[in-house]
Structure 1
């Protein structure tokens, strides 16, 4: 299907429901051809999701009952089919989805691209025009650097959702094509530090003020190089745009690289430093006990997870060069080692209270020594390995967390077009 047949889609995310609703209403006010969908997951723990659809004079509230209450259930069994139906409705010229506070827009876009509804993905029916995140100037910094969990705020996206508010706050900002500031910071220091953090985690994303924004101007502000809903490649570039590398308001960017593996036990001990005074960690890690798998490391505030990002290109079961993105091929070529191939440590760490030098020293100490490196892979395979396929901190054991993308089927009545 060509672009001219696809209906523009705008996703709006944010942790503050009032300003997010205000922006969605501005989109709706642009004309009768705009359909606005809102998901409320407050009762998802009981398997209940409320969905509101406003299209022209129609204002419909539907209650969905899900066998497995989670974000993926909502997406796969309601949002994706709904988007297809709306895209096929002649009166609908644009769709705006106001996401629940707990929803991360990249997860939604991944589903748009990869989950089949019928015989094709929904991205063939809709064209992601913009992903917009609303930032509450008064509270975003505290949320993005704190330890509160979604459960503590009543914002869980599933019954077993253990994410922190910081993880969601950073994910929403990093995936945005445009950021919209709402309200004002309580003081000049909070305003300056919020700006310093955003410049380093989303340096190429334009910032607008909600009080003065108009929809035409907002859409015009989306940069030509914007992602527009394209899911990130875990083997792609870690730095988007050109973040300032100097410290500002105590906020710094540390890039850690190395071409020897981590000792699994020493890495497990070192990651404690990523949970205190660190805004964000993102990157790939090479762990000696699992040399054929790239680990994805991601932290925000007091929450940290380590999961598998698939095999390295040099792995026995690695993907063929022609099957990966040009960006991945280029990055792999630049660092290719005659012995280790594309295996490497690449982490970007944004700190605000921690000392970057201490973090770098701890990570360097977690790498294999020359003697350990000489022992070879057979010896590495016998190292105690605390990491499973997904690792959460703080941990009580080494079992992987439950599947985050479990799906069920809704049984709610729906009469959407």
Structure 2
């Protein structure tokens, strides 16, 4: 029993992608879910012969995760029980494929294989979405007012988790050829692991590797292209071993993030030396999170089940402690990034003086209940922390 999961930012791209997949796999059943205002879910199921059902469900708590858990999963379970061999799931717009696949793994009684996690998107709109400072609700992509994610946050997250990008140009929207070419270059830089295609028939079945996808999306994970970029977009990576002075790093962060489509990595900050701090900057928004203690502070050594990053970056003296930062964007100066980060490192005298008395401008000394503390999110001043609600 095989599943293809299709995520998207908007319904137009999802519709085109699902139509193309249906044509490429005529024996598959198509399941589309849409979440409307006030928790109303519309479910439509199609087969080659035509529509099979259309149902409406009113959820008590109308959120995207509840839609997946209470309607998507039971629908797929029912279809699998009826003997359907291939189901193409068109998720509600802005629902991450990782959320859906996790719920399916927990909730389905039948054995199944996720053949592909497909992100459907229009390349010529990619940059605009990444730099959109509005929330998904404000931009009209979700009916959930409490969803504080930006369009860029959704897209970057699903680009990392998905194994395939199916680029779709909705017929209602005129295509900008130059924007599309630029968007495809950016897609290849942001998701070097993914197959990027406009041909649904060329999607390789059985390619999805859940463990690898989860590793790419783990907080603080750094994955970079294997070779030099041939596009205007590049990715640079910078490592420093000593802890960062919190105030110097606070002042440097705005410059580090400037012009980056995507900034990510993990930080060793002297004000919270026992805490593994992750940084994420997508378009105009930058935030830091406390993800708990370093492995070295837990007396743990790197191993296969503790993540590739810890094994690759383990240091004889510091263990996994250290700063690793990757930046993707246009016209990024690696020497400037290196100079800024090196200037944030503690000096010999500061190392000898110890970390006591250093201020914590980010408020990162304690993780939150979920194991992380999101503290920085500000479109106009990235280093000015602001509490951000989880979605």
Shorter-normalised TM range = 0.7 to 0.9
TM-score (norm 1): 0.77
Instruction: Report 1:6-405 matches (<5 A).
Output: 7-29=1-23, 33-43=27-37, 46-55=38-47, 58-90=51-83, 92-113=84-105, 116-117=106-107, 122=108, 125-156=111-142, 158-183=144-169, 186-188=176-178, 190-209=179-198, 213-215=199-201, 217-219=202-204, 230-232=213-215, 234=218, 238-239=222-223, 241-245=225-229, 248-249=231-232, 251-273=233-255, 275-316=257-298, 324-325=305-306, 327-328=308-309, 330-332=311-313, 335-338=314-317, 340-352=318-330, 355-380=333-358, 383-387=360-364, 389-394=373-378, 398=385, 400-404=387-391
Cα deviation for residue 241 of structure 1 reads 4.9
**Cα distance between partner residues in 2 of 1:268 and 1:39:** 43
Gaps of 5+ in 2: 368-372
Q: Unaligned stretches of 5+ in structure 1? A: 1-6, 405-417
1:356 to 1:204, Cα distance in 2 relative to 1, 3 A:
same
Q: Is the 8 Å Cα contact of residues 14 and 134 (structure 1) preserved in structure 2?
A: yes
Deviation for aligned residue 1:345: 1.0
Residues 104-157 of structure 1: CA distance to partner in whole angstroms, max 9, x if unpaired?
Answer: 2223334444xx43xxxx497321100112231332232234434322321237
Kept in 2: contact 1:134–1:181 (CA 8 A): yes
Deviations 1:334-370 (A, max 9, x none): x3232x2111111211022555544443333333333
Aligned length: 375
Structure 1 window deviating more from structure 2 (141-150 vs 128-137): it is 141-150
Mapped to 1, the partners of 2:27 and 2:44 lie a distance apart of: 17
Is the CA contact 1:199–1:244 (under 8 Å) kept in the aligned structure 2? no
CA gap 1:25/1:331 in 2 versus in 1, 3 angstroms = same
Q: Give TM-score scaled by structure 2 length.
A: 0.82
Q: Which structure is higher in RCO with an 8 Å CA cutoff and minimum separation 6?
A: 1
**Structure 1 residues 130, 394: CA separation in 2 closer, same or farther (over 3 Å shift)?**
same
